[in-house]
Amino acid sequence: MTEPVTGSEAARPLGHVSLVGAGPGDAELLTLKAARLLAEADVVVFDALVSSDVLALVSPRAELIDVGKRPGQSIAQDLINVLLVRLASEGRRVVRLKGGDPFVFGRGGEEAVALAAAGIACDIVPGITSAVAAPAVAGIPVTHRSLAAMFTVVTGHRQHGEKPVNWAALAQAGGTIVVLMGVAERGVIAAALMAGGMPGDTPVAAIRRATTDEQVVGRCRVDQLADLAVESPATLVIGAVAALNVCEVVASAAYAVG
């Protein structure tokens, strides 16, 4: 028989965790709900890709906890799960702030499962994923009539023992391929796509730090991707649409009309 909880444990209500998408970087791309929760939070547990502009919206009374994974510095996901449970068990309003969308390669699903197992209330606040935001701000529509009727979002980072991405199948599928976390493996990815039948002259765009003042866009062909000068974090766009920049077209048309 389970012993009843007494004393201070019984008096302390459980807190709540919100898994919040911080978007690609520009604070103005946050949802209204995300901005409200940041202003109301007691503690914000944030990732490395969350911009300083977004963090500036956090209540000044809130505690900030950096759990970002960086080269040479990585906090195990299990420890982050334990941290979220502990903070909520203290009766605090917790925002787990993730770059992009929590459920797009953000491991938000794992955290939601861990919280549910601990009996902690949790809600999900979607964010704009860089998989569509980064191409968009570079003037690249991921779908475009006559060029791409579909797009695939895939990770370029696989841990040892995980099933590898079937690049050959993607090469044959057509449409647009958007690769997140793929900069380090860009040469391997390009070689695998070409081995699967993708033409070497297929256009590629790499958008680094999309939507921020540090945004840089590089363009090349898939057979040049290994040598493209680009640093993380960046989004790779592979396919016919990567040659487009509709923003320039619109700007040119507006100038001509004026």
Give catalytic residues, as residue numbers.
47, 69
Q: Do the domain assignments include residue 94?
A: yes
Residue 149 and residue 104 share a domain: no
| Mean pLDDT of the 220-244 span | 96
Q: Do the domain assignments include residue 160?
A: yes
Assign residue 46 the CATH number of its domain: 3.40.1010.10
With tokens 């940041």, the residue in question is 38
Residue 138 and residue 93 share a domain: no
For residue 228, give both structure tokens.
């493209």
Contact partners, residue 216, CB within 8 Å, separation at least 6 = 207, 208, 209, 230
Assign residue 162 the CATH number of its domain: 3.30.950.10
- The string of pLDDT tens digits covering residues 55-84 is 999 999 999 999 987 766 778 999 999 999
Our CA angle for 93, 99, 100, nearest 5°, is 110
Give percent above pLDDT 70 in the chain: 90
| Number of C-beta neighbours around residue 152 at 10 A | 17
| Mean pLDDT of the 127-149 span | 96
Beta bridge partners of 17: 94, 122
* Average pLDDT score, the chain: 91
Which of the four pLDDT bands, split at 50, 70 and 90, describes residue 186?
very high
- The string of pLDDT tens digits covering residues 94-103 is 999 999 999 9
- Give the amino acid at 256: A
Residue 106 and residue 23 share a domain: yes
Residues 163, 73, 128, 147: is their CA dihedral positive or negative? negative
State the pLDDT at residue 158: 75
The range of the structural domain enclosing residue 214 comes to 131-246
